[in-house]
Amino acid sequence: MSIVAEWIALDWGTSRLRAWAMAGETVLAAASSDQGMGRLARDGFEPALLALVGDWLAPDRRTLALACGMVGARQGWAEAGYRSVPCPPVAADGFQRAPVTDARLEVRILPGLSQATPADVMRGEEVQIAGFLKAEPEFDGVLCLPGTHSKWVRISAGEAVSFQTFMTGELFALLAESSVLRHSVAAEGWDEPAFLAAVDDALSRPERLAARLFTLRAEGLLTGLAPELARARLSGLLIGAELAAARPYWLGQAVAVIGAAGISNAYSAALRRQGAAPRLAEGDAMVLAGLIAAHRIGREG
Amino acid sequence: MSIVAEWIALDWGTSRLRAWAMAGETVLAAASSDQGMGRLARDGFEPALLALVGDWLAPDRRTLALACGMVGARQGWAEAGYRSVPCPPVAADGFQRAPVTDARLEVRILPGLSQATPADVMRGEEVQIAGFLKAEPEFDGVLCLPGTHSKWVRISAGEAVSFQTFMTGELFALLAESSVLRHSVAAEGWDEPAFLAAVDDALSRPERLAARLFTLRAEGLLTGLAPELARARLSGLLIGAELAAARPYWLGQAVAVIGAAGISNAYSAALRRQGAAPRLAEGDAMVLAGLIAAHRIGREG
């Protein structure tokens, strides 16, 4: 039995493309590929999309594909610009139409969010925020979205009020895989007490961060520090440094962490240790919920 | 006219091999190649050395080649171990003989230095320190050796007392060349006021470091931050973070900076801004002076 989508939801990031065939708010089918924005030239987006969702398209009309993520960046399919905070995470304005040749397709890309001072941008996370607020429209507090570039976002009255980006995930990957620490840090494995101790360490004396990183290598050489411990400590030092800098965001606030289970649990444990009581929301589910919310707003707007 | 070396001095780091043909303390000739430890398997060291200095070897005796640097690391030619601080930067013990097949060669590698608490190691910088102390045996204070892995070393009574490594140079390279900041940070160029302002910023609120990095990217996207300014600011943020963590080393101490001119000038400017009055010593000259000192000690020991 072949599926015909009423519309298509797309989460198109740097490294992955995920698609859902939709009928209203109902998911008919899901698919994904490794054709992320990072590996595509401008004329590669339409073929990559058709390869994944071509079977879902009705032959006699244009099907709307609504996309969020880095597909809308300057080096993506079509630059979708930014909306300035404070504002609702998604709104009817700013959708960017991408150029297509196939008469069965209409592609619209959601804009990101920007902040003038301190300068900051997000692209993709705003949809997860919209997904979270769809279920909890009265939420007043702070959302933490850990990842390659973690975001902390103040939410009030249904709007993103201000936000701050941290390069924690990217720093961890660069240090663990490409720096001299790669010789001492495992690719897998975890040690929760070592992680929490490193978080405490970084939070209590954040100015010492730069001095602590090479210690992981030196202990590996001199005392045979277990690579799994080194991995947990490196993560704890970097997340601790992020929490130190993000303290004005989370201190005394209602906090929810939106992301994949592993990294969300690490942030949650670190925050609980500081006396916060974060809730968790699964990141992928929030993306889909946010795209559904954006689709509804786009239709109404 | 062919040169015959009495002995050969070798500075053999991760990315370069430099050699001097010596007669006592006199340099007869110099040569260098890109055959650093990082690109050589264990059986590649002797051929790489012979390719560079074979012409300097007397045919009828073994010529001593005295080497320092990563050639003595675990993944180098022969592991040369570490001597524990506090100790003189070079001493007669711990020289490691490397296996050779050519009857004209005798290769000895200097050990590095280690510290138990906090765990730390150095390999190569101890020779620069010895070179500095050869000219200034009475120096009492702190040496700063900026580089891929910067070292801060307390010196008293001719000994290295304690030290601390910072991954500042490697972090800068990873962030500027391999992270998302590469889109906003120039490969060349400099802006001294922007550098110094970023140093001040990092020193006055070091706990905010993690929040400042992504700002360089966001300002590049939103306000067209000049890539040369972004480069100077990134350097200032990282060096400022290092100075914040190294404050117990430099505050109120006599400080000398040993390194290449460009990076030494940046550290010197940053330190002067904090009220320190660092002296400068050229790094390459210190290596050669230190190898000469080690050769003399080895002969006497």
Amino acid at site A101: T
Per-residue pLDDT at B298: 79
* Average pLDDT, integer, range A13-37: 96
Nearest CB neighbour to A223, from listed B119, B174, B244:
B119
Whether residues A178 and B179 touch (CB distance < 8 A) is answered with no
Per-residue pLDDT at A210: 84
Mutate to test the interface with B, among A37, A168, A208 (most CBs of B within 10 A): A208
Residue of B nearest to A225 (CA): B119
pLDDT digits (tens, 9 = 90+) for A190-217: 999 999 999 999 999 988 888 899 999 9
Closest-CA distance of chain B to residue A5, Å: 35
Per-residue pLDDT at B52: 98
Neighbours of A63 (CB within 10 A): 20
CA torsion sign, B211 to B235 to A120 to B202?
Answer: positive
* Average pLDDT, integer, range A260-273: 95
Mutate to test the interface with A, among B70, B180, B207, B247 (most CBs of A within 10 A): B207
Range with lowest mean pLDDT among A80-84, A255-259, A295-299: A295-299
Closest-CA distance of chain A to residue B126, Å: 16
Mutate to test the interface with B, among A165, A168, A235, A237 (most CBs of B within 10 A): A165
Chain A residues within 8 Å of chain B (Cβ atoms) = 74, 82, 114-116, 118-121, 149, 164-168, 170-171, 174-175, 178-181, 206-211, 213-215, 217-219, 221-223, 238, 241-242, 244-247
Residue of A nearest to B220 (CA): A119
Chain B residues within 8 Å of chain A (Cβ atoms) = 74, 82, 114-116, 118-121, 149, 164-168, 170-171, 174-175, 178-181, 206-211, 213-215, 217-219, 221-223, 238, 241-242, 244-247
Per-residue pLDDT at B301: 55
Count of CA atoms in the C-beta half-sphere (13 A) of B184: 23
Whether residues A149 and B214 touch (CB distance < 8 A) is answered with yes
Per-residue pLDDT at B257: 98
Whether residues B206 and A211 touch (CB distance < 8 A) is answered with no
Whether residues A218 and B179 touch (CB distance < 8 A) is answered with no
% of chain A beyond a pLDDT of 90: 94
* Average pLDDT, integer, range A89-102: 95
Per-residue pLDDT at B2: 85
For residue B167, the chain A residues in CB contact (below 8 A) are 175, 179-181, 210, 213-214
Q: What is the pTM of this model?
A: 0.93
Whether residues B244 and A218 touch (CB distance < 8 A) is answered with no
pLDDT per residue, tens digit, chain B (301 aa), is 589 999 999 999 999 999 999 999 999 999 999 999 999 999 999 999 999 999 999 999 999 999 999 999 999 999 999 999 999 999 988 899 999 999 999 999 999 999 999 999 999 999 999 999 999 999 999 999 999 999 999 999 999 999 999 999 999 999 999 999 999 999 999 999 999 999 999 999 988 888 899 999 999 999 999 999 999 999 999 999 999 999 999 999 999 999 999 999 999 999 999 999 999 999 999 999 999 999 999 776 5
pLDDT over 70 at A301, yes or no: no
For residue A19, which of A63, A61, A59, A62 has the smallest C-alpha distance? A63
Whether residues A119 and B223 touch (CB distance < 8 A) is answered with yes
Q: What is the DSSP letter of A104?
A: T
Q: What are phi and psi of B260, to 5 degrees?
A: -70, 155
Per-residue pLDDT at B1: 58
Whether residues A213 and B180 touch (CB distance < 8 A) is answered with no
Mutate to test the interface with B, among A165, A204, A207 (most CBs of B within 10 A): A207
Per-residue pLDDT at B141: 98
Instruction: Sketch out chain A's domains with CATH numbers.
Output: 1-114 (3.30.420.300), 124-301 (3.30.420.310)
